Amino acid sequence: MPTEKVIRDRVGTRLGSIIDDSRDVVARNRVGTRLGHYDRGTNSTRDKWGNKIAEGNIVSSLVVDDRKG
């Protein structure tokens, strides 16, 4: 069963979430749009277009406050 960790700013506003199933860890913004994922099989993080952006798990850094535009 997937687990979800909600990411909030310092005043408690929801910025997004990290959803961890047994294979991937997916970052989503506050409205649920997929921002990227970490693939345990390749030990790499990819952005929403599938481009490799890092070795290891950095999906929490993909969740940002997008309200400021």
Indicate the pLDDT class of residue 68, thresholds 50, 70 and 90: low
Question: According to the model, what pLDDT value does residue 40 have?
Answer: 94
Indicate the pLDDT class of residue 66, thresholds 50, 70 and 90: low
**Can you tell me the distance from the alpha carbon of 16 to that of 64, in angstroms, rounded to the nearest whole number?**
8
For the whole model, what pTM was predicted?
A: 0.86
End-to-end CA distance of the chain: 34
Contact 54, 43 (CB under 8 A): no
pLDDT tens-digit readout, 1-59? 889 999 999 999 999 999 998 889 999 999 999 999 999 999 999 999 999 999 999 99
